[in-house]
Structure 1
Amino acid sequence: MRIVFYSASTSAHSNSSTKTTYQPFRADTWDEMDRLYPDCEFVVAGPLNGSYIFDVADGEICKKPEKVKYVLLESGMSAEDTAELIAQQKPDIAVAIASGAVPFDWVPIKTALIAEELQKRGIATIANNTLVSVAAFDKWRSNIMFRSFVKAAKGIYIHHELFLAEKKNPGVSINVYKEYVFYRIKEMNFPVIVKDTLGAGSIGVEVMNSYEEVESFLNSDRNNSDIMVEELIQGEQFGTEIHGVEGRYSVLPPIAFSVTKEGITDPLSSVKFGPVTDPSYHFEKVQEELLNMAQSLKFEGTVQVDLVYRAGEWYIIEINPRWSGMTTTTAAMEGRNPLSIFVDSILGTDKNYSMKRNLKYALNFKMKARSQEDLIRLYGNPHVDYIMQLETSVAGMEKINYCEVVISTDQEKEDILNILNELEEEFPGLVSDDVKANAGELVAKYQ
């Protein structure tokens, strides 16, 4: 079977301001796929920038696999032209690997359009469809979409032009829409989150503690786009991923997130630990609801879901129909190459990763950026599964400069802390005090 993995960029220019480094190298990951699936032939197609599929340094691919073919696509190519180049590789099936992007998380829309073009040419695909991709891109649409399946926070969408209608239209003397907006906000429980409906990476997200604070913001010059105001569900934060295709889904048990005292995730002290299988959380109920969502919306490949648990209730916060910051963590829990998620979706697997017996314990933590030599040495530890380092010089995005490390164990959960201590001994200063504290708290709290 000839399988083409493809990615896309939504930028027409090479992005020299962002550098991403991986361990294992992506080339080594593709070589492992070649060994794992000897009956499959792999081709990898994508642009140099804005994708998770190549090892890139100084604007060039710095390491290539031995047998897997690479096909470079120009940045910013149309869906039609991209599909034509992929079709020239004569795939039996094409698999989309959509990655995150800032300031707009809309790469899944592009890979979905490419999939539509491929399907027109009679080529089978594994890709989340445009309905899911567009709805997930727009936070208000996704709020409406997923509240049909899982409980969600109360919120309101505020159309910017309508909210300011009386300022731009002399015929409007009383703005009924604005009256409606304030009426609904008064009904909310505070604090609330105020955010752009289309932003990515928590850019511009603000927590406001009173109606007066929201009112002042909406009436100020800072209100310059469509936004949504949503109740902040203050509870325990989790994430999960849904892997597979229609008829063959795994909804993984949740991974617990550490948060600050304000109830948000800090870029450098954040820790993720899982799986959480404590029966008192009754996750099987939301697992069933997410499975129903996956079947109804026809998810394909991988979809990440953010959840909050409060007072015996599960709430869905956000979905991302793409390769996410959790994908390598869930793959470490599953004990498989993250790219196997897609190939096993095609070929089938006898393992149901919704079940704890098929999972290991994994911990995801962040640290400050390190040298390439340090990353290679760190990956030499047998318990370190994945490392991803992101560095950017984009103004205002400095907060996303970090190195993410995933470790796992098939022993008891406490072994995760032993591994963390071993890494700290070998690399003094690698693990911050906040990370150690957050990891200890999560491991102690969750079964």
Structure 2
Amino acid sequence: MRRIAFLRSIEIQQTKPFLTALEARLQREDTEAKLFYTDGECGPDDFPGESEKIAGDISADELAKKVIGWGAHGVISLSIADENALRDSVVRRRLETVGIPMVAHSLAATSLTANKWETKRLLEEHGFDIPPGVLVDSDVLAGRGLRIPAYVDSILIQTADMGYPVLSKPLWDCMGAGMVPLADEAELERHLAEPHSGNFILERCVSGEICSVEVVGARGQYVVHPVVWQGPAEIGPVFNFGRLRYVAPRREADLAFAPVAEKLKKLAQDLDLHGAVGLDMIYEDGIYRILEINPRVTGTTTPCIASTGFNTYDCLLSILDGTWPDEADHGHGLQRVCLQFPVRELSPEFVRDLTRELDVVRTQSLNIDGVDHPNVIITCELDDLAELPAKLESLWQRHEFTDRSFLRQIAAAVGVAVPEPAETAVATA
């Protein structure tokens, strides 16, 4: 029997139901799976195999020893965030020395894409649109090493040339951590005078819609998922699980994205990516500006799979066992609309009616910094979009499960007018 280890550093429940869907394949291929995870808990229905919780600060060498000690024949990285993706890239190097293959990006590719400034230069070299930025060296700023009296003035001038407002972003963090909005030169001067523990970027804020895309593959064959939309950009970090995230047809935006998708495939080939990456972007007036590359699976992996039927986790398993690239046509793109949005609570009555009346991918309550954030993910056939807002309105009349503003956002996303409550009451009477 073959043994495959999976590495994970946030709640495994965020992979449901598409990771657990691998159970049939694992049984068919006589494969035993084990999850090594650091966060949350893993119950018998959360993963298609056994599991072991490990320390959150486990080193790459210690993790490699655990995988080897279990007798793994191969390993797949599902870790989030970037620092854990980097750890897994180091694990890959350690395992290469003993002949154990691993699906994770190379150390060179992960180090490059996890660094926001290096990512900017990479994207610019490949012809992508990016927001302008300035790199700030915290050692020079603090007078450590060579003293450069004009350094602060040079930063102020470059930033003025770039234009305000700007965001201060740490090089090595993700998901909005450490971001500081700066409205003008006075705020920037105060920010530069503060102590900084590392280098950072000053990036001009750009308006538009926040969106993401996942690219997955290896060995020259890559699939670019449809765009996941996440609402208007704001000055400062955004909490994604408090917003509507959706995948739906948008003709003009889809046409504008087609050439970007082809360039992303070329970028993936040049980096020799080995697994999945997620890119965060802002879209406005037909232009996609790429903000960063996350060298790993992301929070949008589930909506991507639900809307296309192309299972990222199944692809990772195929990369590991050598059956990828498979030369099949994976370019069918969007098959269904997918919507993820917050709800007030996941009461048994609401979940019962939701599951009975709509196509539910997952209901889940995420615990972030000790606070629960219940949300749902649903899908809808493209031919049934016209009925979706009325169905949600009917559910809302009975359960008031979310803020009404989300019903209006969903209706706009699928291109259907919001039904009047009175009309819904008559229709469901």
Tell me whether the two structures share a fold, i.e. TM-score over 0.5. Answer: yes
Q: 1:122 aligns with which of 91, 95, 99?
A: 99
Higher relative helix content = 2
SS across alignment from 1:282:
helix
Q: 2:337 aligns with which of 352, 355, 361?
A: 361
Match of 2:90?
Answer: 113
1:109-155 deviation line (CA, Å, top 9, x unaligned): 11111111111111222112222322333322222233322221110
2:168/2:202 contact within 8 Å kept: yes
Match of 1:319?
Answer: 293
Match runs of 1:142-161 below 5 Å: 142-149=119-126, 150-161=128-139
SS across alignment from 2:316:
helix
Distance 1:429 1:392 in 2: 24
Match runs of 1:19-168 below 5 Å: 22=13, 32-37=21-26, 38-47=28-37, 49-50=38-39, 56=41, 61-63=42-44, 68-100=49-81, 105-149=82-126, 150-165=128-143
Return closer, same or farther for 1:421/1:222 CA change in 2, 3 Å cut-off.
farther
Match of 2:161?
Answer: 187
Distance 1:117 1:439 in 2: 47
1:44-64 deviation line (CA, Å, top 9, x unaligned): 2303x327xxxx2xxxx4435
Match of 1:15?
Answer: none
Return closer, same or farther for 1:375/1:127 CA change in 2, 3 Å cut-off.
farther
Match of 1:424?
Answer: 396
1:52-105 deviation line (CA, Å, top 9, x unaligned): xxxx2xxxx4435797343554553332332233234444432111123xxxx4
Distance 1:310 1:74 in 2: 42
Q: Which amino acid aligns with 1:152?
A: I
Distance 2:47 2:256 in 1: 46
How much has 1:261 moved relative to structure 2? 6.7
**Could you list the runs of 5+ residues in structure 2 that have no partner in the other structure?**
417-429
**Greater RCO, 1 or 2 (C-alpha within 8 Å, sep 6+):** 1
1:420-439 deviation line (CA, Å, top 9, x unaligned): 4354355x132212322322
Distance 1:136 1:180 in 2: 27
Match of 1:237?
Answer: 210
How much has 1:353 moved relative to structure 2? 4.3
Match of 2:425?
Answer: none
Match of 1:14?
Answer: none
- The answer to which of 150-159 and 250-259 deviates more is 250-259
Q: Does 1:255 align with 2:228?
A: yes
SS across alignment from 2:302:
helix
Distance 1:380 1:80 in 2: 48
SS across alignment from 1:339:
helix
1:3/1:95 contact within 8 Å kept: no
Distance 1:365 1:123 in 2: 40
Distance 2:209 2:156 in 1: 29
Distance 2:258 2:330 in 1: 13
SS across alignment from 1:145:
helix
Match of 2:7?
Answer: 7
**TM-score between both structures, scaled by the size of structure 1:** 0.79
**Could you list the runs of 5+ residues in structure 1 that have no partner in the other structure?**
10-17
How much has 1:271 moved relative to structure 2? 1.2
Match of 1:389?
Answer: 365
Match of 1:306?
Answer: 280
How much has 1:251 moved relative to structure 2? 0.7
Distance 1:222 1:437 in 2: 44
1:246-296 deviation line (CA, Å, top 9, x unaligned): 222101121222126769745454112224452564211100111111111
Return closer, same or farther for 1:444/1:343 CA change in 2, 3 Å cut-off.
same
1:309-341 deviation line (CA, Å, top 9, x unaligned): 233322111111222110111011122555324
SS across alignment from 1:404:
strand
Return closer, same or farther for 1:157/1:330 CA change in 2, 3 Å cut-off.
same
Distance 2:259 2:275 in 1: 22
Match runs of 1:147-296 below 5 Å: 147-149=124-126, 150-165=128-143, 172=147, 175-219=149-193, 221=194, 225-259=198-232, 265-267=238-240, 269-276=242-249, 278-279=251-252, 281-296=255-270
Match of 2:376?
Answer: 405
SS across alignment from 1:180:
helix
Q: Which amino acid aligns with 2:341?
A: F
SS across alignment from 1:293:
helix
RMSD: 3.4
Distance 1:96 1:350 in 2: 24
1:379/1:385 contact within 8 Å kept: no
2:217/2:319 contact within 8 Å kept: yes
Match of 2:424?
Answer: none
Return closer, same or farther for 1:414/1:127 CA change in 2, 3 Å cut-off.
farther
Identity within the alignment, %: 17
1:274/1:363 contact within 8 Å kept: yes
Q: Which amino acid aligns with 1:124?
A: P
Paired residue total: 409
How much has 1:382 moved relative to structure 2? 5.3
- The answer to which of 229-238 and 190-199 deviates more is 190-199
1:273/1:443 contact within 8 Å kept: no
2:230/2:246 contact within 8 Å kept: yes
Distance 1:22 1:381 in 2: 23
1:329-387 deviation line (CA, Å, top 9, x unaligned): 1011122555324224453457644433x622111212345468966875566511123
